[in-house]
Chains A and B, each alone.
Chain A
Amino acid sequence: MGGLIPPWLLTLFWFVLKMTVILALAPVGMMYMTWLERKVMARMQDRIGPNRVGPYGLLQPLADGIKMLTKEDIVPTGADALCHLMSPIVIVVPALCLFTLLPFGPGLTAAPLTTGLLLFVALGSTSTLALFMGGWSSRSIFPLLGAVRNAAQLIAYEVPFVLTLAAVPMIVGSLNMQEIVRAQQASGWFIFTPWGFFAFILLMTAGLAEVNRTPFDLPEAESEIVGGFHTEYSGMKFALWYMAEYLSTLALGCLLTVLFFGGWTGPRIAFLPLPVEDVFWTALKVFMLVFSMIWVRGTFPRFRVDQLMGLAWKVLIPMSLANLLGAAVWYLVPGAVGIAFSFFLAAGTFLVTTQLWLKPKPQLTTKWVDQSA
């Protein structure tokens, strides 16, 4: 084949193919995640959920898209129009780029970089900037409040997220996501190690805060500050905010699958060809994680802002540091001693930092009442 087609054309063709697959599948995945979320939330709240458009409401995301397209685009008076237009684009593009770094099967990564994990974190944290741009440029009170809350929250949760993440390359010895999955193929999933278990819980918590999902959705708390940073957005730009949020939630699910649930590894299914099977196992694990994120949304009420900051700085950061040490000891001291030490180190840090024995019941604060008086 090499003689007929010049190699640069082949490379270009390969690039365009990879690009098209990701750019077509990621938005579709995101659309059906909104459908799944609405269905599951409805069931948890004893409702039926969307069921009119198509069988089981399966065409609902499409109908939503068309509706958003035909809605008027309103830019408030005095707003920074360019910044207002740019911020949804600035948040969606890195969210899409996250999917190029994730492995969906052996060799099935669009850009298998040796520093994949680090670039993933870097791209993921750009959302702070976009959200602040959106909130500030609207020149309105509520979006500004949302933007300021968002900056505080993402700054606080970025630290435990990154610190916890460091435990995985420590044990694997590589930042390449393909290597991380291969290491789990050899040694078993990291969720079954004591440090992996705690790292998963920490990353899930910090990750939900990073993507602004419900127990941590203070930047867009609809019962307090209307819509937060996207109050002044309408039509397609508003839809893009949601698109970015769901895309990054999906990417978070993929990341946790790769780091702790062995990526594409799973029992062999006889009738499926190998690449399809790899993608199937990845998708199944991502689905389970996304489902549990929706479950969290259906279960927990929103945090208060001081609780939110307290959880990040006083519980998650000490725990993530302890967990790093635990992972190191687990690796250096093999056997039951290492396992027990790393488990009790992280669990003990959790007990000390939360001070559960001091405050068996959450005390009612009168701070808010005092201010209004």
Chain B
Amino acid sequence: MNSYNMNYVFLGLFFLGAMVVPLLPIVLARFVAPKRNGPIKTAPYECGMISSGDPWVQFKMQYYIFAILFVVFDVEALFLFPWAVVFKETGVEGLAAIGIFIGILAIGLVYAWQEGALEWED
């Protein structure tokens, strides 16, 4: 294993080591903090009212179209980064190629805007 790949080993170990930072105080609090639970104390908070209805129900996602647009643009970003790294070598030709790609997606954004998909409905 070369010294560059050791960076990934370090990141993996760091990920495990970093677990200590949130876990240590949580475990410590188990011993230090009082435990006096009651039905009223553990009731879901609703400004003092008795909570009515289960929140785990199906509800309307207002941003359904936003989520689809997000997928489009995030994949675009994925294609953009490899191009960005080699931009200096590809120059004008690379710019033209990525320009066409982004241009198509930009037209899509303008279309979505025109259709009113970017308006937040309430």
Whether A140 and B21, one on each chain, are in contact in the complex, defined by CB atoms closer than 8 angstroms, is no
Whether A75 and B18, one on each chain, are in contact in the complex, defined by CB atoms closer than 8 angstroms, is no
A169 on the B face (CB < 8 A) = yes
Chain A neighbourhood of B80, CB < 8 A = 163, 166, 324
Chain A neighbourhood of B9, CB < 8 A = 15
Binary per-residue interface labels of chain A (154-181) against chain B in the complex, 1 for a CB within 8 Å, 0 otherwise: 0110110011001101110111000000
- Asked whether A73 and B33 contact (CB < 8 A) given A89-B23, A166-B80, A317-B73, the answer is yes
Whether B26 and A97, one on each chain, are in contact in the complex, defined by CB atoms closer than 8 angstroms, is no
CB distance from B118 to the nearest CB of A (A): 5
- Asked whether A77 and B34 contact (CB < 8 A) given A18-B10, A141-B55, A155-B70, the answer is no
Chain B, residue nearest A156 (CB): B66
Whether A97 and B70, one on each chain, are in contact in the complex, defined by CB atoms closer than 8 angstroms, is no
Whether B10 and A76, one on each chain, are in contact in the complex, defined by CB atoms closer than 8 angstroms, is no
Whether A27 and B21, one on each chain, are in contact in the complex, defined by CB atoms closer than 8 angstroms, is yes
Chain B neighbourhood of A314, CB < 8 A = 113, 118
Chain A neighbourhood of B46, CB < 8 A = 140-142
Whether A232 and B84, one on each chain, are in contact in the complex, defined by CB atoms closer than 8 angstroms, is no
Binary per-residue interface labels of chain B (30-58) against chain A in the complex, 1 for a CB within 8 Å, 0 otherwise: 10111111010111111100010011100
Contact partner of B22 (CB less than 8 A), chosen from A71, A92, A169, is A92
Chain B, residue nearest A234 (CB): B33
Chain B interface SS verdict (over half): helix
Chain A, residue nearest B117 (CB): A313
A236, B31: Cα distance in complex, Å: 12
A152, B60: Cα distance in complex, Å: 13
Chain A neighbourhood of B14, CB < 8 A = 18-19, 22, 96-97, 100, 110-111
- Asked whether A173 and B32 contact (CB < 8 A) given A159-B73, A240-B22, the answer is no
Whether A19 and B17, one on each chain, are in contact in the complex, defined by CB atoms closer than 8 angstroms, is yes
B63 on the A face (CB < 8 A) = yes
Contact partner of B118 (CB less than 8 A), chosen from A170, A232, A309, is A309
A138 on the B face (CB < 8 A) = yes
Q: Say which size band chain B's interface belongs to.
A: 35 or more
Chain B neighbourhood of A69, CB < 8 A = 25, 28-29, 32-33
Count A interface residues, CB 8 Å.
Answer: 81
Chain B neighbourhood of A140, CB < 8 A = 44-46, 51, 55
Contact residues, A75-105 vs B (CB, 8 A): 75-78, 85, 88-89, 92-93, 96-97, 100
A159, B7: Cα distance in complex, Å: 28
A213 on the B face (CB < 8 A) = no
Whether B18 and A158, one on each chain, are in contact in the complex, defined by CB atoms closer than 8 angstroms, is no
- Asked whether A328 and B95 contact (CB < 8 A) given A100-B11, A309-B120, the answer is yes
Residues of B within 8 A of A (CB): 6-11, 13-15, 17-23, 25-26, 28-30, 32-37, 39, 41-47, 51, 54-56, 59, 61-63, 66-67, 69-70, 73-74, 76-77, 80-81, 84-89, 91-92, 95, 99, 102, 106, 109, 113, 118-120, 122
Cβ contacts A to B, 28 pairs, < 8 Å: A15-B9, A18-B10, A23-B20, A69-B29, A69-B32, A72-B37, A77-B43, A89-B19, A89-B26, A93-B21, A96-B21, A112-B7, A138-B44, A141-B46, A156-B66, A159-B77, A163-B76, A166-B80, A170-B84, A170-B85, A170-B87, A174-B85, A235-B29, A236-B25, A309-B63, A313-B118, A317-B73, A332-B95
Other than the given A76-B44, A97-B11, 4 more pairs (CB < 8 A) read: A23-B18, A68-B29, A140-B55, A158-B70
The 10 closest A-B pairs by CB, nearest first: A140-B44, A306-B120, A162-B77, A236-B29, A170-B84, A96-B18, A92-B22, A159-B73, A169-B84, A111-B7
